[in-house]
Amino acid sequence: MKRLAALLAPAALATLALAPAALACDRTLRSSDTHPEGYPTVAAVQYMGKLLEERTGGALCIEVFHSAQLGEEKDTIEQTQFGVIDMNRVSLGPFNNMIPETQVPSLPYIFRSVEHMHHVMDGPIGDEILAAFADHDLIGLAFYDAGARSFYNSQHPIQAMSDLKGMKFRVMQSDLFVDMVDALGANATPMPYGEVYSSIQTGVIDGAENNWPSYDSSGHFEVARHYTLDQHLIVPEVLVISKKTWDGLSAEEQEAVRAAAKDSVPHMRELWAAREAESEAKMREAGVEIVTEIDKTPFIEAMVPVYEKYVTSDKLKDMVTRIQATE
């Protein structure tokens, strides 16, 4: 027996040395993402986890449950509020009905460019929006990029706003996006991301709207071959942590989580820029019919009633004015 133990010991040690880093962590935070492994949002939270592990000497790590393993965004948001899931990387869209401040960066054509969005979200307005999560059992940590969202469909190319008339588009579960699509003369169907592919395939909807990397990785381009670069939304992603989880961390750990989240942002932006170009090239190669030149003026003008409906409080009006005044 002794000999056997002696023989086994080095093997056991070798196994330990090869064990994944997560096993060495005192506490592993579970983070949700709808996207697959390798998608920039998933990779960015994994990168944040590495920073956190290094900086806390293994006291805190993060494991990303990608590919909607923990559920669709709206459900995982609830679970994060309850503390069943520790962290969540989601679009701001599914928060619109709950947190009015998130509606502002979700307004169609509010940002002139991705750079404009960065200037706003990296500054005091971004901080105010992150702070608004605290009233909803969540702590807002950072914003990530999601490029610009445009319409795609299975029926015909959209060359002008009038081509949208009567068509059925899936939107994220946000009243603001329902009204946005209605104001463009089309019909909106809010539904979870995971149901979009089959809904287009079976003709329940004509199409949806998203950025290049999501259009690509979801496979929606296989069933909706017409993509029009109208770029109606530049809505950022947000990374949140459950207030329950947060309250269980020491002040130093909270600081480390905040800092690691912020420090993952520049890395995420690099990953995003590369992936966006890669996905666009892949879509062109896949033979998707792309309308690049489109007059956005009628689209922008059609959004006036949407702004009137959603930008009602002094707080939101002031935010919109400050965004428009930001370079």
Question: Which member of 88, 96, 211, 231 binds ligand GTR (CB under 6 A)?
Answer: 211
Q: How far apart are CB 290 and ligand GTR at their closest, in Å? A: 18
The smaller minimum CB distance to ligand GTR, of residues 126 and 236, is found at 236
- Partners of residue 219 on adjacent β-strands: none
Q: Does 199 bind ligand GTR (CB under 6 A)?
A: no
CB of 313 to ligand GTR, least distance (A): 25
The closest of 92, 20, 43 to 265, measured between CA atoms, is 43
* Rounded-to-integer distance, Cα 245 and Cα 82, Å: 9
- Contact residue for ligand GTR among 32, 76, 81, 91 (CB under 6 A): 91
| 145 makes contact with ligand GTR (CB under 6 A) | no
CB atoms within 10 A of CB 317: 13
Nearer to ligand GTR, 40 or 49 (CB): 40
Question: Does residue 65 contact residue 145 with C-beta atoms inside 8 Å?
Answer: no
Find the part of the chain contacting ligand GTR (CB under 6 A) among 16-24, 210-218, 248-256, 288-296: 210-218
193, 212, 221, 272: which one contacts ligand GTR (CB under 6 A)? 193
Give the sign of the dihedral formed by CA 233, CA 102, CA 94, CA 138: positive
146-112-110-322 Cα dihedral, nearest 10 degrees: 120
Please identify which residue in 214, 217, 245, 279 interacts with ligand GTR, judged by CB under 6 A: 214
Residues 23, 216: Cα–Cα separation, whole Å:
34
The answer to whether the beta carbons of residues 200 and 225 sit under 8 Å apart is no
Name which position in 132, 172, 205, 261 contacts ligand GTR (CB under 6 A): 172
Tell me if 210 contacts ligand GTR by CB under 6 A. yes
Q: Which residue has the tokens 């089309």?
A: 186
The answer to whether the CB of 177 falls within 8 A of the CB of 255 is no
Residue ranges in 146-165 that form contacts with ligand GTR under rule CB under 6 A: 146
The angle formed by the CA atoms of residues 41, 44 and 50, to the nearest 5 degrees, is 150
Minimum distance from residue 105 beta carbon to ligand GTR (Å):
14
Least distance to ligand GTR, CB of residue 231, Å? 13
Contact set for ligand GTR, span 24-83 (CB under 6 A): 34, 73
In three-state secondary structure terms, 53 is: helix
Site for ligand GTR in 284-313 (CB under 6 A): none
SS3 state of residue 302: helix
Taking CB under 6 A as the binding criterion, the range among 6-14, 127-135, 206-214, 283-291 that sits at the site for ligand GTR is 206-214
Amino acid (one-letter) located at 36: P
Which position among 101, 237, 276, 280 is part of the footprint of ligand GTR (CB under 6 A)? 237
The residue range among 87-95, 259-267, 283-291, 299-307 that interacts with ligand GTR, by the rule CB under 6 A, is 87-95
- Sequence-separated (6 or more) residues with CB below 8 Å from residue 296: 109, 230, 231
Cβ distance to ligand GTR smaller for residue 25 or 215: 215
Candidates 88-96, 106-114, 199-207, 296-304: pick the segment binding ligand GTR (CB under 6 A): 88-96
Spatial strand order in the sheet of 138-144: 60-65, 27-32, 87-91, 237-242, 138-144
- In whole angstroms, how close is the CB of 235 to ligand GTR at the nearest point? 8
Comparing C-alpha atoms, which of 141, 134, 28 is closest to residue 81?
Answer: 134
The site for ligand GTR, by CB under 6 A, has a size of 12
Footprint on this chain of ligand GTR (rule: CB under 6 A): 34, 73, 90-91, 93, 146, 172, 193, 210-211, 214, 237
